[in-house]
A and B are shown apart, each in its own frame.
Chain A
Amino acid sequence: MKQIKNKKAIVKKEIEESRIWESNKLNALSQYILSESQKQSKERKLRNELLAIQFQIEDYIENDKIENRMRVIDFVKLYLKTLKITQKDLANIFEMRDTNLYKYLIGDRKLNNDLVLKLSYFSHTRPEIWYYLQTKNDLNELSKETEKVKKYEKYDYQKTVLAKSMR
């Protein structure tokens, strides 16, 4: 009996869910957020969108597993869409040829300091995250290669250098 009483007393601690999820309150809240959001400047709204992309890049770099592979170009496209410009516009801003920029963004060419700094200043992100992103994808590719480890066993120094000197 005592146990039941105690249990009742404990359960009382949690508020009734119906009070939290009361639909009138939530509808009014939705409307309020919309009205407050409309008071925000265009710059602030853009900042909200750009921060969302930055956080997605950071999460992609930090996550152990890659569910959907995202290349530099995939994140750059999110910026282009948000800023309503084309890749060609970006190439002009970066004083580069469109085709050249494309090769860097899809990973055919490795990012260099010049492009990383351009991306960094353009998107207001830390320059290193662009290198981390490239490295993250490289390491992911490497992990796939190590699955085919037999192919590389012949490069072992014991089999190449030492075996030769022993002969």
Chain B
Amino acid sequence: MIDTNYFWLCIALLALGTISIRMSIIAIAGRIRISNRAKEVFTYIPAAILPAFMAPSVFFHPGVVTWAFGKERLFILFGATVLCYFYRSTIATIGFGLAALYLLTRFG
């Protein structure tokens, strides 16, 4: 059982710290000049961080399909990315990926 005071202390500090991080640059935006170059760098943020979210969880996932060396999630992600490049559809990308994984792990 988690102690009441301990729980609220941790959550209050975590909540305060988190909103401070989220608000940090937004809060000072009115007072600083954001250069065009900085704005261009910001457009790289998804490319810099989203692959770091997905790559380890997919690459190190212990798969079950032996002929794909247990890396079926990696191959399907590659296929889904190519599909997304041509069709630009979130729902098609996720739908294809989940269906392909289901079929491969079930019948592969």
A, B in one complex: no
Identify the A interface with B (CB < 8 A).
Answer: none
Identify the B interface with A (CB < 8 A).
Answer: none
